[in-house]
DNA sequence: GCGGGCGAAGTGTGATCTTACTTGTGCTGG
DNA sequence: CCAGCACAAGTAAGATCACACTTCGCCCGC
């Protein structure tokens, strides 16, 4: 239950600013409002949702400052995760990551933002799971939950040509058990994502103001 | 409500391994079990508590790996926070931090571990609040919630002479608006805390095993 | 004396109900 | 025609209830 709501955010299936009542969500999940309340509460406490009193829950709008902070966190957490995964990654996980990367490319070629979000998540977290660090894994999950909604909007508004693909570099570094190389490629991958947002003009909002994704 | 339970953990008022039922906690807080459930669920999802089915909630035992990860996270998050606070810290907050530091020293002199935990928390988070970064502030809070129980046990078992005080260096650096100096002093402060635990012999547990604080 | 099984007590979990509050709407008076 | 107010609909939040499950203790049988 809790995982379902989190997955919706990570996959970008809820837009920034979207508001929904607990009862509506409960109806979609086929349960009562209480489990939804609890799941939403957890996501509120990590900043991925916010309660609006007597209205429901809302996906927070993104500000430039928050996005930069979250990106810095992503770099820290995820470079650490791939560094550790370099020596622990089973062959089957590496091959699963190759398949996930192929799915990513297919989604880009098809211009399917939703499929891209899902495949990209599977690619990264399949690797991170091998790092055997609950602390950093949970942190990465938390950050993705917060950035999912905005990334979804960004990808949906972009041409398929804008992507510079760092995934092969990550895979090659992991295959030769090179932690530093994998970390560097991961950093490049994350920052190219931020660069994508910047080039799309989403970072021109005044300080503290919510980014206007409707302009996309 | 949610803050109350978190505060208990940060202040170290619940020992690692301690088990408590939701109904019992509800009685202590004077509410029904439901708000406690929700608060506990949030803390479970960030790793500060764990549900034991049909038994209640438990404060997780600490492993060496998890403690090292959490310490690395603390260094990252809190050096970032003080760097930003260096240019934003109001005079009154700096003076409040000086008072909090005096309370820390008084608690050490008195050998009062509980007072030390509270004053130390007030010192650090009074500074962090000025950094105006909800992302990193929440992260620091989350880490402290997870380390609170073990730190409490450690401090309660130590002589008052073992403390090397980095707080004045932090305050001086902030007073002259020196982000790098404040960050370095904060890093030293955090790592001296870890060193304290190591010297107390708590890090000799085999890999993956829960640290045995009863040996203190 | 000891071991196995049965029952009672206690637990989290989910549903339902009540309450207080916000908000949007439609009516009324100017 | 417009502004302001009152009412109604919808909401989250807390308490209470019902249920399935685990666990511990006691008792009976061997």
CATH number for the domain spanning B140: value is 1.20.120.530
- What CATH number does the domain containing A52 carry? 1.10.10.10
What pLDDT does B127 receive? 98
Q: Which nucleotides of chain D are near protein (any atom < 7 Å from a CB)? A: 10-17, 20-23
Residue A212's pLDDT is 67
Question: Is A65 within 8 Å of B41 when comparing Cβ atoms?
Answer: no
Query: Is B9 inside a domain boundary?
Result: no
Question: For chain B, how many structural domains are there in total?
Answer: 2
The beta-strand segments (E) located in chain A are: 19-20, 50-52, 56-58
pLDDT digits (tens, 9 = 90+) for B122-133: 999 999 999 999
Residue whose structure tokens are 């489990």: A35
Say whether both B54 and B112 belong to one domain: no
b/e B108-127 (16+ beta carbons within 10 angstroms → b) = beeebbebbbbbbbbbbbbb
Q: Is the pLDDT of residue A28 over 80?
A: yes
B45 & B128 share domain:
no
Choose the closest CB to A38 out of B38, B80, B136: B38
Q: Are strands A56-58 and A19-20 parallel, antiparallel or unpaired?
A: antiparallel
**Is A52 strand, coil or helix?**
strand
Cβ distance B47 to B146 under 8 Å? yes
Give the per-residue pLDDT at A106: 94
The per-residue pLDDT for range B153-203, each reduced to its tens digit, is 888 877 665 677 899 999 999 999 999 999 999 999 999 999 888 877 777
Same domain, B191 and B120: yes
Instruction: Give the C-alpha separation, B119 to A135, whole Å.
Output: 26
Strands A50-52 and A19-20: unpaired
Higher pLDDT, A187 or B209: A187
- Is A158 within a domain? yes
Between CA B68 and CA B143 the distance in angstroms is: 12
Cα gap B17→A83, rounded to integer Å? 31
CB contact under 8 A, B45 and A2: yes
Mean pLDDT of B61-74: 95
- β-pairing, B56-58 with B50-52? antiparallel
CB contact under 8 A, A66 and B139: no
Residues B68 and B128 in one domain: yes
For strand A50-52 and strand A56-58, is the pairing parallel, antiparallel, or unpaired?
antiparallel
By mean pLDDT, which of A36-40, A205-209, B191-195 is the weakest? A205-209
Tell me: do A72 and A41 sit in the same domain: no
Q: How far is B50 from chain A (nearest CA, A)?
A: 13
CA–CA separation, A22 and A20 (whole Å):
7
Mean pLDDT of A120-148: 97
- Distance in Å from D1's C1' to A215's CA comes to 37
Q: Are residues A90 and A132 in the same domain?
A: yes
Question: SS3 for A213?
Answer: helix
Tell which of B58, B78, B111 closes a domain: B58
What pLDDT was estimated at residue A160? 63
Say if residue B81 is in the same domain as residue B36.
Answer: no
Q: What is the largest CA-CA distance in chain A?
A: 55
Contact B135 A80 (CB under 8 A): no
Please indicate, yes or no, whether residues A34 and A97 belong to a single structural domain of this protein: no
A178 and A195 inside one domain: yes
Is there a single domain that holds both residue A41 and residue A102? Answer: no
What is the 3-state composition of chain A as percent helix, strand, coil, each rounded to the nearest 5? 70, 5, 25
- Rounded to whole angstroms, the Cα distance separating B155 from A162 reads 54
Query: In this structure, are residues A210 and A62 in contact, taking their beta carbons and an 8 Å threshold?
Result: yes
> Does residue A160 sit within a domain?
yes
For the stretch B14-28, pLDDT in tens is 999 999 999 999 999
pLDDT digits (tens, 9 = 90+) for A163-172: 778 999 999 9
Q: Does residue A132 share a domain with residue A188? A: yes
pLDDT of res. B216: 45
* Percentage of residues in chain B having pLDDT higher than 90: 77
The closest CB to that of B135, out of A42, A70, A80, belongs to: A70
Q: Look at residue A216 in the predicted model and tell me its pLDDT.
A: 45
Kindly state whether residue B214 falls inside one of the protein's structural domains: no
Q: How many CA atoms lie within 13 A of A139 on its CB side?
A: 33
At residue B213, the pLDDT reads 64
Average pLDDT on B78-92 reads 97
Q: What is the pLDDT of residue A88?
A: 97
Provide the mean pLDDT of chain A: 92
Distance in angstroms (rounded) separating the CA atoms of residues B61 and A148: 32
Query: Range of B39's domain?
Result: 19-58
Taking residues A59-64, report their average pLDDT: 92
**Residues A91 and A164 occupy one common structural domain:** yes
Look at residue B75 and tell me whether its pLDDT is greater than 50. yes
How confident is the model at residue B135, as a pLDDT?
Answer: 97
Task: Round and report the angstrom distance from CA (B53) to C1' (D22).
Answer: 8
- The burial class, CB within 10 Å (0-12 / 13-18 / 19+), for B107 is buried
* pLDDT surpassing 70 at residue A162: no
Q: What is the pTM of this model?
A: 0.94
Residues of B in contact with A47 (CB under 8 A): 134-135, 138
């Amino acid at each position: 239950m809790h995982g379902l709501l989190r997955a919706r955010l990570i996959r970008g299936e809820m837009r920034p600013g979207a508001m929904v009542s607990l009862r509506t969500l409960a109806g979609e999940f086929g349960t009562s409002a209480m489990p939804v309340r609890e799941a939403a509460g957890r996501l509120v406490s990590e900043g991925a949702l916010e309660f609006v009193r007597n209205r429901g829950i809302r996906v927070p709008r993104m500000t430039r400052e928050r996005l930069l902070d979250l990106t810095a966190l992503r770099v820290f957490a995820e470079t650490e995760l791939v560094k550790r995964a370099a020596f622990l990654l089973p062959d089957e996980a590496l091959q699963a990551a190759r398949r996930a990367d192929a799915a990513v490319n297919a989604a880009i070629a098809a211009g399917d933002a939703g499929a891209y979000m899902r495949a990209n998540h599977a690619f990264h977290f399949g690797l991170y799971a091998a790092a055997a660090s609950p602390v950093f894994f949970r942190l990465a999950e938390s950050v993705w939950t917060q950035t999912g909604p905005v990334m979804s909007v960004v990808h949906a508004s972009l041409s398929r040509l804008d992507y510079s693909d760092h995934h092969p570099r990550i895979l090659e570094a992991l295959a030769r058990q090179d932690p530093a190389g994998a970390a560097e490629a991961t950093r490049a991958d994350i920052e190219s994502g931020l660069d994508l947002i910047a080039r799309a003009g989403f970072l021109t909002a005044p300080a503290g103001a919510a980014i206007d994704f409707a302009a996309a």
